């Protein structure tokens, strides 16, 4: 099965707890197999089984308490 990795820019992450909160919410999206959030850069790498709906990613980031700026 092929995978897709998409990098998103998220504002408001400042620490490891922030990374964990964002990663946890995004990982709940169907098809997501891995999430790596980096507070220092604000980038979140999401590996999934196919192209993700940006609205679903935005809602997950909002649920975590941060703002999705867009794709990096």
Which burial class, exposed, middle or buried, applies to 28 when counting CB atoms under 10 A from its CB (0-12, 13-18, 19+)?
exposed
Query: How many residues in total does the chain contain?
Result: 72
18-71: per-residue pLDDT in tens?
999 999 999 999 999 999 999 999 999 999 999 999 999 999 999 999 999 999
Q: What is the largest CA-CA distance in the chain?
A: 34
**Alpha helices (runs of H) in 1-72, residue ranges in sequence order:** 16-27, 54-64
Q: Is pLDDT at 1 greater than 70 in this prediction?
A: no
Class of the CATH-defined domain 4-65: alpha beta
């Amino acid at each position: 099965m092929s995978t897709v990795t998409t990098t998103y820019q998220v504002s408001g992450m400042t620490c490891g707890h922030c990374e964990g909160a964002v990663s946890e919410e995004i990982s709940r999206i169907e098809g997501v197999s891995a999430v790596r959030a980096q507070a220092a850069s604000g980038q979140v790498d999401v590996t999934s089984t196919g192209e993700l709906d940006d609205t679903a990613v935005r809602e997950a980031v909002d649920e975590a308490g941060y703002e999705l700026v867009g794709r990096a």
